[in-house]
Amino acid sequence: MSLFVKKPLDQILAQAADSEKGLKRTLGAGNLIALGIGAIIGAGLFVRTAAAAGQAAGPAVTLSFIVAAIGCAFAGLCYAEFASMIPIAGSAYAYSYVTMGELVAWIIGWALIMEYALGAATVSIAWSEYLNKLLGGSIPYEWCHSPFESFTDSAGVYHQGIMNAPALIILLALTLLLIKGTQESALVNAVIVFIKVAIVILFIAIGWQFIRPENHTPYLIPADTAPIADQAGKIIADYSGWNKHGWGGVLGGAAIVFFAFIGFDAVSTAAQEAKNPKRDMPIGILGSLVICTILYILFGHVLTGVAPWTDFVDPEKGREASVAYAISTYMTDYQWLANAVTVAILAGFSSVILVMLMGQSRIFYTMSNDGLIPKAFGELHPKFKTPYKSNWILFLFVGGFAAFVPGHVAGDLTSFGTLFAFVLVSIGVWILRVKSPEIERPFKTPMVPVVCTLGAIICTAMIVGLDMQTLKVAFLWMAIGLVVYFAYSRHHSKLKK
């Protein structure tokens, strides 16, 4: 049979309707919005905002957020149509199987491992780093770094990493929570989301009174801005490039802050566990995207108003320490808020890991039911009705990466997987509109094919904008995926049988 054999839509709908054998439907619209916010608001808000301001956009980082949000909105509208029409776990993998065939579905399913599994591993490593900061560096270097990392301290003592134990512990705790049940996981996620959103709103509310208008003037970085050097005289920022100043800088900043939006698509992986997916899935996807966009714009406005954007050129200030730096330097009576921001970042990491692990296990569950990966990935717990074996296998893979591999190795691979999924989902909506216009669509993407085309073009442009090393590793990963497909998946496909 053809490599592009498509899965019949009625077969998928029948599978989704079989509540006795499938996943339990326990999630409402509020749970889905919380899942989306849980996956979106992580370190991206606290790290990418200052990085984009210092590297390209200046105070106009708020406009960068708007541009990035528009790009995500195109993809989000396409996801919403598919999720309401095909309420099954699997997200972009399942949608591609219906519209573009098995090989394309396998490719996107393999690419999503980069978004969810490697994303969870990378974030758990960052979670470990922040926990150590919160504890004043009390965790021994050997037990919070991989064997490939080492350093010599001020006393001349050499330290070699053994394993990243905190990263492994948080992954284990969240895996056990996911096995216990989706409703319990959603409840914990909702509590975490409440904490981190409350702290973000607190920073916006308190920081607003510390905004200095001169920090927002000029709003765009001028074209004649001189390069900025560090104390040693090394140039650390050059604004001569077209995407480093003016409106070009706004676009450059959008490419940076886009990665702070990654995660809203994870809502679609829970479609088979939604009580009323036809109504609730679009609300969950688009609702979480709108809420986070509003918070991002306000947050960027306050951060660049409290501290001048030039303060964020220095990597030590413009990365994870940016918000705490701004509070400590310009809001001196609110040091407690700087500590609260660290707690919010830890909470943000936790919910991102939780939703990423959940999303990946649901994609594995659907791929297993299709026969493309071993059936162990699709077996449900007899009591909890969760894909517990998939959760354990995923823990071993992600935990091994988090415990023994440096965090920077994953780089922007997470972003490649996400953008690739966005492109195929955008194209898929258009294809299905042409080939199957009679299908009931509880939510319809407006202005097709304009929205689909713009979504695909913008996301493809962002893929091209990734660095060459990331693209090489991504294509190597995809080549490995094709080997697995032709060696195993093609011969075990239930659809072909």
Those residues whose C-beta lies under 8 Å from the C-beta of residue 145, and which sit 6 or more positions away, are 161, 162, 164, 406
Q: What is the token pair recorded at 236?
A: 């650390």
Residue 72 has pLDDT above 90, yes or no: no
Rounded to whole angstroms, the Cα distance separating 256 from 127 reads 21
pTM of the model: 0.79
What pLDDT is stored for residue 486 in this prediction? Answer: 94
Residues 264, 353: contact at Cβ < 8 Å?
A: no
Angle between helices 322-330 and 43-52 (to 10 degrees): 70
Among 202-206, 212-216, 312-316, 425-429, the least confident range:
312-316
CA distances from 313 to 45, 126, 219, 259, 317 (A): 17, 21, 16, 19, 7
pLDDT (0 to 100) of residue 91: 79
% pLDDT > 70, the chain: 94
pLDDT at residue number 80: 87
Q: What is the pLDDT of residue 213?
A: 94
Q: Considering only 28-32, 43-47, 285-289, 408-412, which range has the smallest mean pLDDT?
A: 408-412
Q: Residue 423 corresponds to which tokens in the numbers above?
A: 């492109």
Which whole number is the average pLDDT over 56-61? 90
Report H helices in 208-334. Answer: 246-257, 277-306, 315-318, 322-330
Among 45, 90, 88, which residue's Cα sits nearest to residue 68? 45
Helix (H, G, I), strand (E, B) or coil at 436: coil
pLDDT band at 318 (very low <50, low <70, confident <90, very high): very low
Q: Per residue in 142-155, pLDDT tens?
A: 998 888 888 777 77
Closest CA to 102 of 366, 391, 416, 463: 366
CA nearest 74: which of 450, 379, 465?
450
Strands 158-160, 150-152: pairing kind: antiparallel
Confidence of residue 421 (pLDDT cuts 50, 70, 90): confident
SS3 136: coil
DSSP annotation of 158 reads E
Cα 378 to Cα 322: distance, rounded to the nearest angstrom: 43
What pLDDT is attached to residue 226?
A: 80
* pLDDT at 172 exceeding the cut of 50: yes
Is the confidence at residue 20, as pLDDT, over 60? no
Q: How many CB atoms lie within 10 A of CB 481?
A: 18
Collect all residues with Cβ–Cβ distance below 8 Å to 8 and sequence separation of at least 6.
none
pLDDT of the residue at 300? 94
Torsion of CA 71, 76, 82, 87, to 10 degrees: 150
Question: Using an 8 Å Cβ cutoff, are 200 and 296 in contact?
Answer: no
Residue whose tokens read 């409402």: 28
Query: What's the mean per-residue pLDDT of the chain?
Result: 85
Kindly tell me if the per-residue pLDDT of 19 is higher than 60: no
pLDDT tens-digit profile of 83-102?
A: 888 777 777 888 889 888 89
**pLDDT band, very low/low/confident/very high, at 21 (cuts 50, 70, 90):** low
Radius of gyration of the chain (CA): 22
Mean pLDDT on 328-353: 85
Using one digit for the tens of pLDDT, what is the confidence trace for 365-400? 889 989 999 999 989 888 888 889 999 999 999 999
Other beta carbons less than 10 A from residue 392's beta carbon: 15
What pLDDT was estimated at residue 489? 92
Domains of the chain, residue spans:
9-492
**263 or 1: which carries more pLDDT confidence?**
263
**Domain 9-492, CATH homologous superfamily name and number:** Amino acid/polyamine transporter I (1.20.1740.10)
Report yes or no: 89 and 361 within 8 Å, Cβ to Cβ: no
Whether 403 shows a pLDDT value over 80: the answer reads: yes
